[in-house]
Amino acid sequence: MVISSHRAKSRWLVWCCLLLAPFIISCTRDVRGSDAPVAKVMRPSLPYPLQGATVADDFPDYTSDDAARLYDSLRGAGIEWIAITPCGFIDSTFDTKIGWNEWSIRDYPKGIRTAREHGLKVMIKPYLWSMDFWTKKRWTGDIRFDDSVQRASWFRSYTTWMIQCAEYARDGGAELLCIGLELPHMSVYAEQWKTLIDTLRTIYPGSLTYASHGLDEAESITFWNDLDVVGVNIYPTLSRDDHPTDDDLGNGWRPVVDGLQKLSQSTIAR
C-alpha cells in the first residue's frame, strides 16, 4: 500500500509501508568472511512483527539529504526496518545472464550505513527486472529453465549477482539479506539454492531469507531450514465489497494468517 510520495523535486519515488512478518527459525553457524574491514553486523533477534518499509528511488542515492530526511520521517512513523532494493537486469525471462550497473550500486554500503545511523535496521532485497515485465506483461514467475544446461548457466549468473549483493550487505552492516524474490519456477531446485546459501554464509554474517510469491510457492520450498527467516509476499483479496467493514477485512485476513501459521509450524517441525 502506497502511503506517501516525496516532493516533486525529489528523486525518491515512493515509500510503501509493509508489515514484515517473518516466522523465525533458529540457526547457528560458523561464518567465514574476508579480511577487509567491514561494518560490524550480528544476526539480529528478529521480533514479531517487524515494522518495516521498502524504500525505492529512481536513481540509487540512499545517502542523499532527501534520503536522510526520509529515514527520519520513517522513524517518526514507528518504522524500525527498511528494505533497500538493488536491481539485477535481464534482457528477457529466457535470458540466463544477469547484469547490473556497477556505477549505480557501488554506494549501497554507504547507503546502508546512512540508514543505520538514523536508527534503522536494514534488509537488502535484490530483485530482477526486465523490459518484458513492462512490454509483455511478464514477471519473475515466468523465469523458468527446464533445460539443465540453461538452468545451470542461470544459477551461475544469479550466484555471481547475489555474491555482489552479499558483499554490499556485509560491508554496510545490513542485518538481513533476502536471497531471492518471487521465483516460483526456480525455487523448486533446492540443491542449487542450498549451494547458494552455503556460499553466501562464507561472505555475509547476517541473517538470510527468501521472499516467496504467496503461500503456494512458500509451501513448495524445501530449503527453509537452511535460512534464518521464512519470507512470504502476500497479495490477498480481502473483500470484493467496494466499501468493506473492518470485520470484512479481518475475515479476509483470517485464512491467510492461518495458512502462515501452518507454514511456520510445519517448517519448524522439519
Q: Does residue 260 fall inside a structural domain?
A: no
Give the residue numbers spanning the domain of 15: 2-235
Q: Does residue 264 fall inside a structural domain?
A: no
Q: Does residue 50 fall inside a structural domain?
A: yes
Q: What is the pLDDT of residue 5?
A: 26
Question: pLDDT tens digit string along 237-268?
Answer: 999 999 999 999 999 999 999 999 999 888 87
Q: Which of 43, 47, 51, 53 is closest to 24 using CA atoms?
A: 47
Q: Does residue 33 fall inside a structural domain?
A: yes
Global pTM reads: 0.81
Helices (H), 202-245: 214-220
CA distance 197 to 192: 9
Question: Across the chain, what does the average pLDDT equal?
Answer: 81
Q: Does residue 84 fall inside a structural domain?
A: yes
Q: Does residue 267 fall inside a structural domain?
A: no
Where does residue 182 fall: left (phi above 0), alpha (psi -120 to 50 degrees), or beta otherwise? left
Q: Does residue 148 fall inside a structural domain?
A: yes
Q: Does residue 26 fall inside a structural domain?
A: yes
Interior/surface letters 201-233, b for 16+ CB within 10 angstroms, e for the rest = bebbbbbbbbbbbbbebbeebbbbebbbbbbbe
- The number of distinct structural domains making up the chain is 1
Q: What is the pLDDT of residue 44?
A: 53
Q: Which of 229, 114, 108, 111 is closest to 178 using CA atoms?
A: 229
The enclosing domain of 110 has a CATH number of 3.20.20.80
CA distance 143 to 98: 12
DSSP assignment of 97-149, as one string? Answer: --B--HHHHTTHHHHHHHHHHTT-EEEE--EEE-HHHHHS---GGG----SHH
Q: What is the pLDDT of residue 157?
A: 96
Question: pLDDT tens digit string along 140-184?
Answer: 889 999 999 999 999 999 999 999 999 999 999 999 999 999 999
Interior/surface letters 46-67, b for 16+ CB within 10 angstroms, e for the rest = beeebebbbbbbeebbbbbebb
Q: Which of 68, 66, 102 is closest to 86 using CA atoms?
A: 102
